[in-house]
């Protein structure tokens, strides 16, 4: 799926959020524990040492991070357009 397609699929999500919800979405961050886990998985991935379950977990984290990044970018644009 292209970023453009993903972007257009997410428009209805940001369109139904008020300014406070958009700001909360923009400021959403992973917990320190989650960041630590992803960093650990990334290190193992770089070393070629991920077990199959770890690879699936790491790939899910990457997909979610990409999804959230696009959604946050859309939220920022909507907030900036509103002034």
Q: What is the pLDDT of residues 22-61, one digit of tens each?
A: 999 999 999 999 999 999 999 999 999 999 999 999 999 9
Three-class SS state of 14: helix
Model pTM score:
0.84
Number of domains forming the structure of the chain: 1
Instruction: Report pLDDT for 52.
Output: 97
Mean model confidence pLDDT for the chain = 92
Of 4, 26, 6, the closest CA to residue 78 belongs to 26
What residue numbers bound the domain in which 8 lies? Answer: 3-82
Geometric angle at alpha carbon 65, from 42 and 25, rounded to 5°: 140
Max distance between CA atoms of the chain, in angstroms, equals 48
């Amino acid at each position: 799926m292209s970023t453009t397609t993903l972007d257009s699929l997410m428009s209805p999500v940001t369109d139904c959020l008020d300014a406070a919800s958009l700001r909360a979405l923009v400021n959403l961050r992973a917990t320190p524990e989650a960041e630590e886990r992803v960093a650990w998985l990334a290190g193992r991935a770089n070393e070629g040492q991920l077990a199959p379950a770890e690879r699936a977990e790491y790939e899910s984290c990457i997909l979610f991070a990409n999804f959230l990044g696009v959604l946050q970018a859309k939220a920022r644009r909507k907030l900036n357009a509103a002034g």
